[in-house]
Structure 1
């Protein structure tokens, strides 16, 4: 697929790695130089996997990034015998950070913002936190709350139908394309094509419908507000002014709940900052992690 960020990304060293955690194998990718001044652990969003954050990685300067696939998504299998709820994801992320990069900054995008914030509030050792498109209010109350309610019915049906029918529904390419069209805000036809093809390729790489349903219920039952007051570390929020999941007004309120938070707003983009405006997001992150930035103090 035509990738507008390919030339930049081709210059980034990348290594695929595996580590045993919680009785399963977590697959993750290490980007950048091993001796980079800063290390970032990047947690992707719902139904996504590590590929989704690569446009941001391509624009980062002087940052080593460890980007795992969440349990049950991409190349990481589910954790055996466990429900994939927030407690499980928090336990997994805390273990991953301790085993691969103790003391690294943690970044969470969308659903990953809930996992990252909950883990840091629960004691994950990190000097700072970055949240991109944070879920700063209940999804059912967002500008497109009616679409979220339809999504609740969609994932419930996928979980309750006979196995083959449920799986086919959840991986239906027309529905996946509809989700992509609803989220994309760019008017650039080539960039829109790239976004849609990314979702076509990676949005259905979940292990099974049980994991997907657990994660969806977690995503609509939690938001970052509950954890913000307990996060003492400097926090960067990168939010979109046209986000249909969390309106910008709610993001501005969310920023006030953290003891030490900075909010960067990006105009003319919605919930796909990582695809549509990765350079702007990466510039904010690079500055935050720089020696003079709040993320290092």
Structure 2
């Protein structure tokens, strides 16, 4: 069990005693054209009205379907949820070794949807690499785009990552190139590297926390993030790393126009900078752009209530409800709003005392 508290995560108070345990749905295995076996979790809808969309939650690089734990917990039963795991991630097999382009992941996602959601409306939600995959899918599978009622892109980028320093000025770009070369050279010795990762698990958890979160989170959430990343093989990391430097989804952004689009950016994201979210929102007319203060790359785990509430509003818009886009919005997570409210109250009290003197 992985207990967590609402004070750290900004979740509803009723969730304070809830344990962060793995969620399980109906497992489906989809074998794609090159032999990779992709694991998919499907949560059926208990109360969704006729014609409600299947909500597809696509995780990011080095993660698994568990990255959507809190959103899945909030939405399950109300919508049919589809949670695929990228090749080499979670319980999916790696497939043939070698470089993997985002286009390959988009083709995988299309085949998964053909298998588990062949008809009916869709809402596509992607974090980081998952968002890139959805953007590429919009170009490669216009038939699926036609069925898509809304899209959410969370802490992701449409391109230009080769010029980013990943929070390490002067060194970041060189380190990425060095990592690509080192991973390629040592792919045949992956077993040695995996043993080293296990020995350095505590250090890895600290590094994961540094690059994933910008505010304090519970140790359980830190361990969840570290566990997902430790479960992704060195081979998979090597296969995908070069794809980020050549990413260009500008064509896809044009294709997304004409439907509700939510762009969530994290203020202190060291992996896909907040400015990249701004770029995406500017390129999609009518997109809702939300910047989450005091948040890192794993914003849906760090401040789950913020992300979930925006997804629920997007789903209302997709259904033709009154969840109108808010336009540009900067959101303070619950814990920060509480601190700000306390500070404001203290200021008012001090002024009142001064007035009585």
User: How high is the TM-score relative to the length of structure 1?
Assistant: 0.85
Find the counterpart in structure 2 of residue 25 from structure 1. Answer: 37
Measured against aligned partners, the alpha-carbon deviations of 1:209-243 in whole angstroms (never above 9, x if no partner) come to: 33321212113331544521232333111111222
Contact 2:299 2:307 in 1 (8 A): yes
State the SS of the aligned residue for 2:230: coil
Q: Are the structure 2 counterparts of residues 175 and 156 from structure 1 closer, same or farther at C-alpha, using a change threshold of 3 Å?
A: farther
Find the counterpart in structure 2 of residue 179 from structure 1. Answer: 208
Q: Unpaired runs of 5+ in structure 2?
A: 6-14, 326-357
Deviation at 1:176, TM superposition (A): 4.9
Measured against aligned partners, the alpha-carbon deviations of 1:21-50 in whole angstroms (never above 9, x if no partner) come to: 333332111235255233211111001011
Q: Are the structure 2 counterparts of residues 215 and 234 from structure 1 closer, same or farther at C-alpha, using a change threshold of 3 Å?
A: same
1:16 corresponds to 2:27: yes
Q: Rg bigger for which structure? A: 2
Q: Are the structure 2 counterparts of residues 79 and 72 from structure 1 closer, same or farther at C-alpha, using a change threshold of 3 Å?
A: same
2:102 aligned to 86, 89, 109, which one? Answer: 86
Q: Are the structure 2 counterparts of residues 24 and 256 from structure 1 closer, same or farther at C-alpha, using a change threshold of 3 Å?
A: same
Deviation at 1:249, TM superposition (A): 3.2
Contact 1:78 1:211 in 2 (8 A): yes
1:52 corresponds to 2:67: yes
Find the counterpart in structure 2 of residue 282 from structure 1. Answer: 308
Residues of 1 paired with 2:302 and 2:69: CA distance?
A: 12
Q: Are the structure 2 counterparts of residues 9 and 224 from structure 1 closer, same or farther at C-alpha, using a change threshold of 3 Å?
A: farther
Measured against aligned partners, the alpha-carbon deviations of 1:225-264 in whole angstroms (never above 9, x if no partner) come to: 4521232333111111222233333322321112442112
Contact 2:97 2:235 in 1 (8 A): no
Once the two structures are superposed, the pairs formed by residues 94-109 of structure 1 within 5 Å of their partners are 94-101=110-117, 102=119, 103-109=121-127
Measured against aligned partners, the alpha-carbon deviations of 1:159-218 in whole angstroms (never above 9, x if no partner) come to: 31251334445665224531322322122xxx2412321133221223x43332121211
Q: Are the structure 2 counterparts of residues 244 and 272 from structure 1 closer, same or farther at C-alpha, using a change threshold of 3 Å?
A: same
Residues of 2 paired with 1:112 and 1:177: CA distance?
A: 24
Aligned-residue Cα RMSD (Å) equals 2.9
Count of residue pairs brought into register by the alignment: 291
1:72 aligned to 84, 88, 93, which one? Answer: 88
Q: Which 10-residue stretch deviates more, 32-41 or 266-275?
A: 32-41
Find the counterpart in structure 2 of residue 2 from structure 1. Answer: 3
Taking CA–CA contacts closer than 8 Å with sequence separation of 6 or more, which of the two structures ends up with the larger relative contact order? 1
Find the counterpart in structure 2 of residue 216 from structure 1. Answer: 241
Find the counterpart in structure 2 of residue 255 from structure 1. Answer: 281
Contact 1:28 1:66 in 2 (8 A): yes
